[in-house]
Amino acid sequence: MIETTVEAFIQKPVSEVFTFVRKMENQTSYNKSIRSVEVSNQESTEYKMHIDLGLFHLTEIYKIEEVIENQLIVASCTANGMKFTDRYEFREQGNHCHLIITDRMELKGLFKLSEGLVKMNLKSQMQENLHTLKSILES
């Protein structure tokens, strides 16, 4: 299992950051691995995503498992050979938001052989994505 955490202080209120991140279609603007996102159900809890992880190109369903308004979003995706769960935590720091994103990825079968390479790249990619998100929200 690979677990990666990144965090940033965003100079916007928690509610604004939460609303932007909760709208999963916005991921294409800040997550360079996400090529497209389509809402799959009326409740906006399932999204069909085209994901490019470098070694892997996937079209999968990303499911929102838990939402606590302005505090937490937990979402996961299960694909052939892998499962990942993303946890977005939103904490108020004065008038700003402390955003913590944790990704837990489990690779199975032949995909497990690439775990070292994935682990090396995942942290830097998550940091880059978070930096882009921060720039979008603070502009």
Mind listing the pLDDT tens digit for each residue in 11-54? Answer: 999 999 999 999 999 999 999 989 999 999 998 899 999 988 67
Assigned domain for 50 exists: no
In the chain, the number of structural domains is 1
What pLDDT digit, counting tens, does each position of 81-91 carry?
Answer: 788 999 999 99
Question: Which of 35-39, 101-105, 116-120 has the lowest average pLDDT?
Answer: 116-120
Q: What is the pLDDT of residue 57?
A: 81
128 part of a folded domain: yes
Any domain includes 36: no
Give the domain extent around 110.
Answer: 2-30+65-138
Burial class (CB in 10 A: 0-12, 13-18, 19+), 73: buried
Identify the CATH number of the domain in which residue 101 sits: 3.30.530.20
By three-state DSSP, how is residue 86 classified? Answer: strand
Give 139's contacts (C-beta < 8 A, 6+ positions apart): none
Residue 134: CB partners within 8 Å, gap ≥ 6?
8, 10
- Alpha-helical runs (H) found in the chain: 14-22, 27-30, 115-138
pLDDT, average across residues 48-71 = 89
Give domain status of residue 134, yes or no. Answer: yes
Q: Would residue 23 count as lying in a domain? A: yes
